[in-house]
Chains A and B, each alone.
Chain A
Amino acid sequence: MAEVLMILTIALPWLGALAVWAWGDDDAQQRGGWYASHRLAVAFSAAAGLAALALLPSVSSTTVLRIPIGGMFGELTFVPDGLGVFLTVVATVIGCLAVVFSVDYMRGERQQRRYYAFVLFFIGAMAGLALTGSLLFLFFFWEITALCSYVLISFYNDDPKAVAGGIKALIITQIGGAGLLAGALLAYAYTGSYDIGNFIEKAPTLPAAVLAAMAFGFLAAAAAKSAQFPFQTWLPDAMEAPTPISALIHAATMVNAGVYLLARFYPAFEHVPGWRTAVMVVGLITALLAAFMGLAANDLKRVLAYSTVSQLGYMVYAIGVGGVFASAFHLLSHAVFKALLFLAAGAVIHAVGTRDMRDMGGLGQRMPFVRNVFIVGALALAGLPILNGFWSKELILEAGLEGGPGWALVGMILGAGLTALYTARMTWLVFFGQPRSDLHAHDATSAMRVSLGALAVGALTTWLLVGPFSRMLAETLPFHEIEHLGLWEMTVEILAAPVTWLAMGVIGIGLAAWGLRERLAGVTNSLGWLSRAAQASFGFEWINRRVVQITQGAASLLRVTQTGELNWNVLGIVGGLVFILAILVWGVR
Chain B
Amino acid sequence: MKNSVRFQRSFEGEIMNFSPLNIILLGVLGLFGVGLYGLLITRNLIKIVLVLQILVKAAVLALVLAGKAGGNLGLGQSLAATVIVADTVVAVIGLALAVQIRRRFGTLDLPAISTLKG
Contacts and interface: CB of A to CB of B under 8 A. Distances in A.
Interface in A531-589: 559, 562-567, 570-571, 574
Given A562-B117, A562-B118, A567 B110 contact: yes
B98 to A, nearest CB: 12
B19 interface: no
B43 A567 contact: yes
Contacts of B41: 567
A109 B110 CA distance: 55
Interface in B34-83: 36, 39-43, 48
Contacts of A566: 39, 48, 110, 114
Interface in B13-40: 36, 39-40
Contacts of B117: 562-565
Contacts of B110: 565-567
A574 to B, nearest CB: 6
Contact of A570 (B40, B114, B115): B40
A574 B39 CA distance: 10
A171 to B, nearest CB: 24
A253 to B, nearest CB: 41
A567 B115 contact: no
Nearest to B43: A567
A566 B39 CA distance: 8
Interface residues of A, number: 10
Contacts of B85: none
B118 A570 contact: no
Nearest to A565: B114
Contacts of A571: 40
B118 A567 contact: no
Contacts of A564: 114-118
B118 A559 contact: yes
Contacts of B43: 567
A563 B115 CA distance: 9
Contacts of B36: 570, 574
Interface string A35-50: 0000000000000000
B24 to A, nearest CB: 22
Contacts of A563: 114, 117
Nearest to B51: A570
Contacts of B42: 567
B43 to A, nearest CB: 7
Nearest to A560: B118
B35 to A, nearest CB: 10
A565 B116 CA distance: 9
A566 B51 CA distance: 13
A432 B41 CA distance: 79
Interface in A191-238: none
Contacts of A567: 39-43, 110
A199 B98 CA distance: 64
Nearest to B41: A567
A570 B37 CA distance: 10
Contacts of A574: 36, 40
Interface in A62-108: none
A559 to B, nearest CB: 5
A563 B114 CA distance: 8
25 contacts: A559-B118, A562-B117, A562-B118, A563-B114, A563-B117, A564-B114, A564-B115, A564-B116, A564-B117, A565-B110, A565-B111, A565-B114, A566-B39, A566-B48, A566-B110, A566-B114, A567-B39, A567-B42, A567-B43, A567-B110, A570-B36, A570-B39, A571-B40, A574-B36, A574-B40
Interface of B: 36, 39-43, 48, 110-111, 114-118
Given A564-B115, A567-B43, 6 more contacts: A562-B118, A563-B114, A566-B48, A566-B110, A567-B41, A567-B110
CB-CB nearest 10 A-B residue pairs = A564-B117, A570-B39, A564-B114, A559-B118, A565-B114, A564-B116, A566-B110, A567-B40, A562-B118, A574-B36
